[in-house]
């Protein structure tokens, strides 16, 4: 799913950085592709996704969490662009973000679009 060479390079770079996911990259060997204040979405080289909520071992992601992790990985790391979920026929452009995956708040800040879009820019219905 992800070439070992590319994955190793990304994890090593993250581990050596001051990125919020650097600790997980160092201790778990997983790539942090997205984080909020209370959780990290961690990608394994075989495409598995784990969510680390800082209250024990990282847990296997739900399918919605995996989708979000893939979208964020594709946005953040050009080498992982192929992880972007393919938009299926019959889906519609997300009315919340207009397809951008990002919502602009009244104060000008931007946040990633939440469920059911999960920053893909489209929804199933």
What are φ and ψ of residue 35, in 5° steps?
-150, 150
Return the residues of window 101-120 that contact Zn ion according to CB under 5 A: 113, 117
Which residue lies nearer to Zn ion by CB, 42 or 97?
Answer: 97
Rg (CA), the chain: 15
- Which pair of tokens denotes residue 21? 């996911």
Which residue lies nearer to Zn ion by CB, 24 or 72?
Answer: 72
Could you tell me the smallest distance in angstroms from the CB atom of residue 96 to Zn ion? 4
Is residue 32 near Zn ion by the rule CB under 5 A? Answer: no
Site string for Zn ion, 49-68 (x = CB under 5 A): --------------------
Could you tell me the smallest distance in angstroms from the CB atom of residue 58 to Zn ion? 26
User: What is the binding site for Zn ion (CB under 5 A)?
Assistant: 94, 96-97, 113, 117
């Amino acid at each position: 799913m992800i070439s070992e060479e590319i994955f190793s390079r990304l994890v090593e770079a993250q581990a050596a950085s001051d990125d919020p996911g650097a600790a997980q990259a160092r201790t778990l060997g997983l790539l942090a592709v997205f984080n909020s204040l209370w959780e990290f979405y961690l990608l394994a080289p075989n495409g598995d996704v784990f969510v680390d909520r800082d209250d024990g071992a990282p847990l296997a992601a739900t399918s919605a969490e995996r989708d979000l992790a893939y979208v964020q990985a594709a946005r953040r790391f050009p080498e992982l662009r192929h992880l972007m979920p393919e938009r299926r026929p019959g889906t519609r452009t997300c009315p919340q973000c207009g397809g951008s995956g990002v919502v602009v708040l009244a104060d000008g800040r931007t946040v990633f679009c939440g469920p059911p879009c999960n920053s893909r820019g489209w929804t199933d219905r």
